[in-house]
Amino acid sequence: MNGRFAISMHILTLLAKANGEWLTSEFIAGSININPVLVRKEISNLRNRGLVVSREGKNGGSALAKPASQIQVSDVFLATRQGPFLGSSRNTPNPACPVGRQINKHLDNLYQEAEVALIQKLGDSTLDEFSRRFD
Amino acid sequence: MNGRFAISMHILTLLAKANGEWLTSEFIAGSININPVLVRKEISNLRNRGLVVSREGKNGGSALAKPASQIQVSDVFLATRQGPFLGSSRNTPNPACPVGRQINKHLDNLYQEAEVALIQKLGDSTLDEFSRRFD
DNA sequence: AATATTGTAATAAAATTTGTTACAGTTTTG
DNA sequence: CAAAACTGTAACAAATTTTATTACAATATT
């Protein structure tokens, strides 16, 4: 995972504990201690994924699109992962070498297997469970 | 995983298929298509992990420190991972906020659980198996 | 002694991530 | 309707991380 996963989990945890209140990006940014624009960018992504809803204008803000018990941690992982998860092979190995020619294909297979296992694991827990861990 | 995992897997696959030959960093770099110094750095790391042995001087190079069947993919993962695997929380959230104060602790727990699942999965396969996938 | 090679430090370049500024568009409220 | 409080997003800047390069000392072989 990357920093975006942490930011998204933080946002979603705040929303889960907000009890129907619409939180502003500025308030959320104050808790995470980052710039409100970054929060809005992440929320935009979560909204596209159907996890969050927002409203513009005065008294605007964001809220969960569905109960926290229906949001799995794996949903957040999938929403924030970029590309093939495990750093992907951005090498362009030598095609004249038998290993170089095939390594990316085999690594991609490996990554995918690993990712499936990880998603399964993260699918076990929900945002509701996660947010209840806080005092 | 990161680019270093891919590089290390590439190096180890070449060594596994080298049949006792000592491969030079230049040869390996040619297959991966990166700078030989990077190869030597990665090999240095793998050597510290007990996966590879090297010898200096003319006709020097590197070889596996043990049979490929005794090297698990999870060993490579552990050798190349940097820090808390999933991008770690380098945010410094607001300690005045109940969520901000505890989020890193709970995320770390989550990361660790996920990492255990991943390592278990990667522990299922060995370098030997991986290298046999190549034609 | 000449050659081939590793080991490693120092530095530079490139890529990625994170942060900032700016401002148009949308609601609410007086 | 105008002011205020927001979101949405683009464009740009700064910081960080990753990857590459240069340089050279140390080690073996021939």
Domain of residue B116, residue span: 3-132
Q: Say if the Cβ atoms of A30 and B97 lie within 8 Å.
A: yes
Tell me the three state secondary structure of residue B76.
helix
Distance B37 CA to D21 C1' (A): 9
Nearest CB partner across the interface for B121, out of A98, A117, A125: A117
For B79-103, the pLDDT digits (tens) are 998 766 554 556 788 888 889 999 9
| Cβ–Cβ gap A93/B31 under 8 Å | yes
A21 contact residues in B (CB cutoff 8 A): none
Provide the number of structural domains found in chain B: 1
CB contact A83 to B (< 8 Å): no
Indicate the burial class of A46 (C-beta count within 10 angstroms; 0-12, 13-18, 19 or more): buried
Cβ contact (<8 Å) for B87 and A3?
yes
Residue B110 three-state SS: helix
The predicted structure's pLDDT at residue B84: 60
- Give the DSSP letter of residue A62: E
Chain B nearest CA to A104, separation (Å) = 8
If you average pLDDT over residues B49-71, what whole number do you get? 96
Q: Do B91 and A6 touch (CB under 8 A)?
A: yes
User: What is residue A86's predicted lDDT score, i.e. its pLDDT?
Assistant: 52
Residues of B in contact with A118 (CB under 8 A): 114, 117-118, 121
> In this structure, what CATH number is given to the domain that contains residue A78?
1.10.10.10
The CA-atom distances, in angstroms, between B49 and each of A2, A30, B45, B107, B121 are 26, 42, 6, 28, 20
Give residue for tokens 């619409």. A22
What string of pLDDT tens digits covers the 135 residues of chain A? 678 999 999 999 999 999 889 999 999 999 999 999 999 999 999 999 999 999 999 999 999 999 999 999 999 999 998 765 554 556 788 787 888 889 989 998 998 899 999 999 999 899 999 999 998
